[in-house]
Amino acid sequence: MIRIANENLRKTIRVVVPFLLFPLAVALGVFVFPENSYAWVTVVCLIFAMLLFYASFDKKVVGTRRMVIIAVMTALSVMSRAVFSMIPAFKPITSIVIITAIWIGPESGFLVGSLTAVISNFQFGQGPWTPFQMFSWGMIGLVAGYLGKYLRENRIALAVYGALAGVAYSMIMDIWTVLWAGEGFNWELYAAALATALPYTIGYAVSNVVFLLVLGRPFGEKLQRVKLKYGV
């Protein structure tokens, strides 16, 4: 009976955290709390991301091994942002998040995406945009994980998803751009922001496709071997 209750609780967390609590925290950080409180909002979002991850497993040993993989993939993602910092809109971050998600699981992808935003922004700058980046990369990873089996078996689908992920990331971040203007959300400003950011959006989409096609198979094979060897 207790086991059933725990399993139901985990299922609830997997739905409520990414689709309700996380976006609610981001919205409160924009519309309710003052702008200089973004650090607290970031911490709350990080707690939600870790809660979602912990809800995805119930075996301590397997969970610990998965955490090691998450740490490695997060480090690679953060490092990749620094290495490619001189090339605007051409970075492997989203691709690494997607690869993690389709091979390790949606919650793992969400956590790697969220952690990448927080950790890398210690170098590139923390701000009210950090929770938006956490949400963007996190949700891209979560959805990729749900589509994991299909994306692993179809390179065309993987490339298409990578391109769409680049567009989605740009569109979500442009919501922050409009809100940053301080006049609330305005559809005309949003359309203008989308048009202005079009070159970057194309860059995000193209870079995702390139990195997924280049890194997807070798990274996937290594992650699969790790999963089989350690029973993750």
What does DSSP assign to residue 17? I
Report angle CA 92, 142, 23 to the nearest 5 degrees: 105
Helices (H), the chain: 2-16, 22-31, 38-54, 60-83, 93-104, 106-124, 130-146, 148-153, 155-180, 187-196, 198-230
Residue 147 CA to residue 139 CA, distance in Å, equals 12
Q: Report yes or no on whether pTM surpasses 0.85.
A: yes
Q: Which of 64, 95, 62 is nearest to 81 (CA)?
A: 95
Q: The tokens 């298409």 sit on which residue? A: 160
Residues near 34 by beta carbon (within 8 Å), at least 6 away in sequence:
none
Rounded mean pLDDT of 93-99?
A: 97
Domain 59-230 has CATH 2.40.10.220: no
The structure tokens listed for 33 are 């709390």
How confident is residue 88, by pLDDT bands cut at 50, 70 and 90? confident
- 98 touches 141 (CB < 8 A): yes
The structure tokens listed for 143 are 């959805």
The one-letter amino acid at 111: L
How confident is residue 168, by pLDDT bands cut at 50, 70 and 90? very high
Q: What percent of the chain has pLDDT over 70?
A: 92
- In this predicted model, what pLDDT tens digit does every residue of 123-135 receive, in sequence order? 999 988 999 999 9
Task: Inform me whether the pLDDT recorded for 51 exceeds 80.
Answer: yes
Rounded mean pLDDT of 169-187?
A: 86
Average pLDDT, the chain: 89
